[in-house]
Amino acid sequence: MSDAAAAGPAARRRVVADSLGVGVATGAYGVSFGALGTTSGLDVLQTCVLSLLAFTGASQFAFIGVVAAGGAPVTGAVTSVLLGSRNLFYGLSIASVLRLRGVRRALGAHLVIDESTAVALAQRDPALGRLGFWWTGTSVFVLWNLSTLLGALAGTAIGDPRAYGLDAAVGAAFLGLLWPRLDGPLPRLVALCGAAVAAGLVPVTPAGLPIIGGGAVAVAVGLLVGARR
């Protein structure tokens, strides 16, 4: 398929429309992140800084989850960066499509997230892949940050977050992020293992550590079981 034929105006419009759709849908979660951030004890500025500069949803939710559970901020950061490690591999898989250098690489790197990678890799033509990456990354970035601010302001207006069930909302948000990854017996086993070990560690270790411990044991079990197949 030649570049010119594949990247015609119709194909380009379709990619831009898909990208904006993903941007709107993903951006909307930002409201829940913002609200949960300020009800977890962060202020509006801290919550918005996470969305602006960390800009990777699951990691941001992990940070506020650990901090809300009483964990040290550094423990939150470690959990969050571990979850962000998948972006390293996203970058690897789309580097050859994007072919970025210098300032454009520095800017583009910030937009390497689940959604932009998925849209870029879904295109057969690299030119459309680049188009999808930039449109998805930029639209998610703009909407995610606007909605974080809205949610953060709404969160500060709420009294006791438990009265609104917001502590349950955080658990539901994690489950929602986990769900699409449970596409086989191995990931299901790993997720259950992580949950069981983490719950078992809660009474015996400081806050925050059960998450890292559960995650580590689960990945080790997953590698052992996976290697035997």
Partner 1 sequence: MGIVLTCVGCYVLKVAGLSVPDRVLEHATTQRAVSLIPVGLLGALVAVQVLADGPRLAVDARLAGLGVAAVLLALRVPFLPMVVAAALTAALLRL
Under rule CB under 8 A, which residues in 66-85 are in contact with partner 1?
67, 69-70, 72-77, 79-85
Position 20 contacts partner 1 (CB under 8 A) = no
Q: Write the secondary structure of the chain as one string of H (helix), E (strand) and C (coil).
A: CCHHHHCCHHHHHHHHHHHHHHHHHHHHHHHHHHHHHHHCCCCHHHHHHHHHHHCCHHHHHHHHHHHHCCCCHHHHHHHHHHHHHHHHHHHHHHHHHHCCCHHHHHHHHHCCCHHHHHHHHHCCCHHHHHHHHHHHHHHHHHHHHHHHHHHHHHHHHCCCHHHHCHHHHHHHHHHHHHHHHCCCHHHHHHHHHHHHHHHHHCCCCCCCHHHHHHHHHHHHHHHHHHHHC
Q: Give the interface segment with partner 1, choosing from 3-11, 13-21, 24-32, 124-132 (CB under 8 A).
A: 24-32
Closest CB to partner 1 among residues 19, 65: 65
CB of 157 to partner 1, least distance (A): 15
Alpha carbon 127 to its chain's center: 25
Say how far apart CA 3 and CA 128 lie, in whole Å.
Answer: 9
For position 91 contacting partner 1 by CB under 8 A, the verdict is yes
Does 182 sit near partner 1 (CB under 8 A)?
yes
Work out whether 194 is an interface residue with partner 1 (CB under 8 A). Answer: yes
Binding positions for partner 1, 114-153, rule CB under 8 A: none
Nearest residue (CB) to partner 1, 82 versus 153:
82
Pick one of 7, 15, 22, 112: the residue that binds partner 1 (CB under 8 A): 112
Binding mask 149-168 for partner 1 (x = CB under 8 A): -------------xxxxxxx
Interface with partner 1 in residues 36-65 (CB under 8 A): 42, 46, 49-50, 53-56, 58-63, 65
Shortest approach of partner 1 to residue 38 CB, angstroms?
Answer: 14
**Minimum distance between the CB of residue 17 and partner 1, rounded to whole angstroms?**
18
In angstroms and rounded to an integer, the radius of gyration of the C-alpha atoms of the chain is 19
Residue 12 is a binding residue for partner 1 (CB under 8 A): no
Among 24, 142, 158, 172, binds partner 1 (CB under 8 A): 172
Per-residue tokens: 145 = 């940050």
